[in-house]
Structure 1
């Protein structure tokens, strides 16, 4: 055996020994807890890989979060939950759902007021004639507003889902597709904001405009969404100068072809930048994103633009800061981990119910400890 071969074997043997000792050290309970705090992973192999991902992340440009720049709507009660009260037929069930949300400690109810369920049959027609007896289409929504007030809660009213009459193609172009005339949307926003002036302060204009099917059969368009946002925001502010306009929550996605191919999605960060380029900044008071943890826990600190985890809202914040919007807060419209049964495809990750129950409080804790620019985070969902 030559001296060079002997030296090579010695080097490799040394590396194996060092690696083995390192893995042995990392497998100890204190090290495992530390790796969980860095990677959000519970399995040992995933934790070790996560450390290498974190190291690689140091080579990328770091996000700029301007943590002290926010002036409004960040220092608020963070606890919100998505509800679907309009889907309950019996008023007593709506009341029970709000009572349960309040008892769970939530302050905010993110509730859709679907345009198609209020201005149902024609423009300016707010009577529900789908069933006997005919009644005001506002009736159930009046009760929802009253229930929130009764329990000292605040509503985040999501305004989306146009009626079929607002599109020449009807529902054939997508039940969530935008109206042909954005003024129709603006007029409905104005009617809603006027009706609940002094009772509803927060409205969210649309939901996930960067993905299919929230923009119907059309390719998604940051520029067109900005026009819709502008029309809605101007109408809302004219109806109530105290209204707080929340932008439609952007869905985290790495797809890049949604603006050119119908039925596809478009990267949330690029979508937001193009919104800014189109002049969107003047037409929202709070930015919104989704906060799903997917395949790792809330302590995952890995940052990679093409990887989805709980830390992704930091990239949204980075885009806001880069465009001079660091003074605005970011809210999370939907947040959770997927406790799907074993027989359901885990397209969006899978955790146990016990993990889900543990992760949500930790997510709120991280928001409070590390993200002073983030206000409300709404759990998905109570029904």
Structure 2
């Protein structure tokens, strides 16, 4: 008694322990979720793999907003353009105010704008023309038709020198739109303007009106995220090619990674990218029409700033940091236009309090006195860094590369010639690298090194060279990005690509550079938390198994007692109905089965075979349906017949039965019919009556279950899903179902032997068909030296060797061990055509390895005199193989420099590389050939 008091209540201690472990388990899950969420927030906006091609993203990034028509007196347009060019800028975003170009309807004044276009393009700068500010006569917002005529006139005049047109500025603000912003109205103006511009300039690229950052949701101003969503709802997507944002930093620096509609910061652009992805429009780039930080000098302190303010050194640091972050992490971001060289002094001050030109001086790269500010010098230094391919997708036309060997370049990519060596050197900055290639039904290779070493994601040939195969898996033309290297140190790298063959195929379409921050700490944290969670879960299970389970029963009893009388009656009726249905199914099946058995084994089998034959050969759908129902009815009563029939029909999977618009093998159809019968019997039988539980519980069923789980996981990650799921169904799931039924159906000795007999019967049929074909000289394969090879119902003689190589050992085992004299005689006779067909298949694998190994195994297991008989038989077979070794097909067996042995060795080498790359789950069912011929086949083995 005293000891019990000292030790306390064991059950109470167990509950406390269980509760503490449960608390630890859930806290660990919460911590893991926090780690994952933090990583997601830190990497939001960074593509998970190699960047995909995005039109208009592979452009020079550095752009500046200008007002060349309204500069400060200290800065002339020519000097402004010189500063822009010297600073490394390649884009100029210039307003083309409608009110100044067409002050009266139909009367255009082009003089100022002609000079701007001429002087800008003469310096190699590219213009973004901003169409905005309607004249008084047009109203605000203007008529879409009037605006479209103006936009078309601009495109017609400058289309030979300008390709990028932006339709409006700040359409999501009341001051920008002229009234309460209305996405549908702007969508119509955009539509008509885009059609007019494209009609005048077919190469034009339309930029969506610059969306101002705001957290407001109306009515005066509307968040750019909501505005863009409503534009998609209004059907505006076809009428813009590029989305533009204003990526101001406001109060925080470029590393502020909060992405929230209620937060104004540099990361806000990610929200817009996610809207594009949500609408399946992620093939479009985002450009920053404005970005930067405001820095007011002391003499401008009387000018308030709605963007916050930083000192000039911080402004320069933040601006370069923003360019650097976008360069590393946002491959979907194209041109980034700094706000600005100098503010547009022609802008009037709105009555609403929106900042006027004077209040924009804090963003200026050049002060009112014409002198460059620190931010200009910092950006210029950044712009003049060594050229390289930043993270993103690049083409031979847009990327940085050195071409050697006379490559031909075009919009299609790069094409090597037929003679000589063709090499391209590609510098890049990032952690991952891939090549975008055009593959098809042709033989060619690209050999790739990164920093002087073979690319770490590619297979290697005998010389250790990493290579890309340009033959497509299904021989159909395809353009695909192939990962070449990953997990490189973040920084500068150099890839060298050497082309072998592939002329006139334009095999190199481009390359992709990826960047992913180091996540080793993240993975270690997740691994540690996972181990802790598993430990807590194991402890909960251990304590739970020792707890009093009787309390569970008492809880159920208490719950039943708390049910109302009506609920108890309903539950009783449901259970009673299920019992009656089960009883009917059981008695019905047993009665039907008894009637069918009175036909006798011969009659039952004859009826089964007749129904199956009629179902397979019937040319009429109605007769096929009737025969199928008859066959199903028979198998419903005698599922053991179904198992025997499957064993016989299994080798004839190449001769499917068309059903509607699909085709299925007879073995598959009979398996599913038998499964239905097995399922009904399993549901309606009880262990006491012999219907439950697999025979011989043990490791076998566990291994089969593991096979199914692994095969399913492998299928889910397969690249070629259609063939993977078909292969999973036909070679894993249905055979496993056959195995399950074979183990669990109550069958006696006669039924078990019937399955074996039908399996042998199927083998004899395969052999007989092949021997008849061989005698008639049809459906043969001609091997080395003109040797004809038997292939029966298969596409390759090796399939004959594989199948009959499994039938012959069973025949041998029965000959050695069976007690039934007539069965031994029948199996001995069956061995003659099976053995003959095996020999005439001339399958080296079967004749030299499979059959001898199987016979040795059977003989050793038989023991006694059969052991010596087997050894004698092997000696006879070895002597019989001597003449075979004189045939060209077998004589090349030991020649490793050419012939089939050479190619088999290369095949095994490629297979080892595939296993190394996909060790745990493989490439997926029926995916081997697709991966082998498109990635792992060695260049020296291409003929295979």
1:146 matched to 2:105? The reply is no
State how far apart, in whole Å, the 2-side matches of 1:252 and 1:88 are: 26
Aligned match of 2:331: 372
Bigger share in helix: 2
**1:114-153 to 2 correspondence within 5 Å?**
114-121=97-104, 123-126=105-108, 137-153=109-125
The 3 A distance-change label for structure 1 pair 227 and 54 is farther
* SS in structure 2 at match of 1:312: helix
Aligned match of 1:20: none
> What are the Cα deviations for residues 129-175 of structure 1, in whole angstroms up to 9, with x where unaligned?
xxxxxxxx2111111111111110000000000011112xxxxxxxx
Aligned match of 2:215: 254
Query: Is the Cα–Cα contact under 8 Å of residues 65 and 317 in structure 1 kept in the other structure?
Result: no
The 3 A distance-change label for structure 1 pair 138 and 59 is closer
Aligned equivalent of 1:156, options 128, 147, 150? 128
> Aligned-residue CA RMSD in angstroms?
2.4
**1:166-177 to 2 correspondence within 5 Å?**
166-167=138-139, 177=140
State how far apart, in whole Å, the 2-side matches of 1:88 and 1:293 are: 25
Aligned equivalent of 2:137, options 138, 141, 165? 165
* SS in structure 1 at match of 2:253: coil
State how far apart, in whole Å, the 2-side matches of 1:147 and 1:375 are: 24
The 3 A distance-change label for structure 1 pair 54 and 164 is farther
State how far apart, in whole Å, the 2-side matches of 1:220 and 1:82 are: 24
Aligned match of 1:286: 242
> Which is greater in Rg?
2
Aligned match of 2:164: 202
Query: Is the Cα–Cα contact under 8 Å of residues 260 and 271 in structure 2 kept in the other structure?
Result: no
Aligned equivalent of 1:229, options 181, 190, 198? 190
Aligned match of 1:213: 175
1:242 matched to 2:224? The reply is no
State how far apart, in whole Å, the 2-side matches of 1:54 and 1:207 are: 40
State how far apart, in whole Å, the 2-side matches of 1:81 and 1:59 are: 32
Query: Is the Cα–Cα contact under 8 Å of residues 63 and 315 in structure 1 kept in the other structure?
Result: no
The 3 A distance-change label for structure 1 pair 59 and 236 is closer
* SS in structure 2 at match of 1:304: coil
**1:52-91 to 2 correspondence within 5 Å?**
68-88=51-71
Aligned equivalent of 1:182, options 144, 169, 174? 144
Moved over 2 A (4+): 53-60, 62-71, 340-347
User: When the two structures are aligned, how many residues end up with a matched partner?
Assistant: 304
* SS in structure 2 at match of 1:207: coil
Instruction: Give the TM-score, by structure 2 length.
Output: 0.31
> What are the Cα deviations for residues 195-236 of structure 1, in whole angstroms up to 9, with x where unaligned?
0121011000001100120011x2111111101100110000
Aligned match of 1:358: 317
State how far apart, in whole Å, the 2-side matches of 1:57 and 1:166 are: 51
Query: Is the Cα–Cα contact under 8 Å of residues 257 and 266 in structure 1 kept in the other structure?
Result: yes
State how far apart, in whole Å, the 2-side matches of 1:249 and 1:356 are: 23
Aligned match of 1:347: 306
**Offset at residue 340 of structure 1 (A):** 2.3
State how far apart, in whole Å, the 1-side matches of 2:204 and 2:269 are: 24
> What are the Cα deviations for residues 256-301 of structure 1, in whole angstroms up to 9, with x where unaligned?
122xxxxx21111111000000011000011111010001111111
State how far apart, in whole Å, the 2-side matches of 1:125 and 1:63 are: 50
State how far apart, in whole Å, the 1-side matches of 2:195 and 2:218 are: 30
Query: Is the Cα–Cα contact under 8 Å of residues 45 and 329 in structure 2 kept in the other structure?
Result: no
Query: Is the Cα–Cα contact under 8 Å of residues 54 and 301 in structure 1 kept in the other structure?
Result: no
Aligned equivalent of 2:80, options 86, 97, 100? 97
State how far apart, in whole Å, the 2-side matches of 1:232 and 1:203 are: 10
Query: Is the Cα–Cα contact under 8 Å of residues 170 and 212 in structure 2 kept in the other structure?
Result: yes
1:113 matched to 2:114? The reply is no
State how far apart, in whole Å, the 2-side matches of 1:64 and 1:89 are: 39
State how far apart, in whole Å, the 2-side matches of 1:110 and 1:96 are: 17
**Offset at residue 68 of structure 1 (A):** 2.7
Q: Which has the higher contact order (CA 8 A, sep 6+)?
A: 1
State how far apart, in whole Å, the 1-side matches of 2:125 and 2:64 are: 11
State how far apart, in whole Å, the 1-side matches of 2:45 and 2:76 are: 45
Query: Is the Cα–Cα contact under 8 Å of residues 193 and 239 in structure 1 kept in the other structure?
Result: yes
* SS in structure 1 at match of 2:165: strand
> What are the Cα deviations for residues 174-203 of structure 1, in whole angstroms up to 9, with x where unaligned?
xxx321x21100000000000012101100
State how far apart, in whole Å, the 2-side matches of 1:54 and 1:124 are: 63
* SS in structure 2 at match of 1:330: strand
**Offset at residue 348 of structure 1 (A):** 1.4
> What are the Cα deviations for residues 302-353 of structure 1, in whole angstroms up to 9, with x where unaligned?
2222001100000000001101110000000001101124444342111101
Gaps of 5+ in 1: 1-52, 127-136, 168-176, 259-263
**Offset at residue 95 of structure 1 (A):** 1.2
Gaps of 5+ in 2: 1-33, 343-944
Query: Is the Cα–Cα contact under 8 Å of residues 288 and 336 in structure 2 kept in the other structure?
Result: yes
Query: Is the Cα–Cα contact under 8 Å of residues 301 and 311 in structure 1 kept in the other structure?
Result: yes
The 3 A distance-change label for structure 1 pair 236 and 330 is same
> What are the Cα deviations for residues 347-368 of structure 1, in whole angstroms up to 9, with x where unaligned?
2111101111111111111111
The 3 A distance-change label for structure 1 pair 315 and 89 is closer
State how far apart, in whole Å, the 2-side matches of 1:306 and 1:88 are: 35
Aligned match of 2:493: none
Aligned equivalent of 1:328, options 278, 284, 300? 284
* SS in structure 1 at match of 2:340: strand
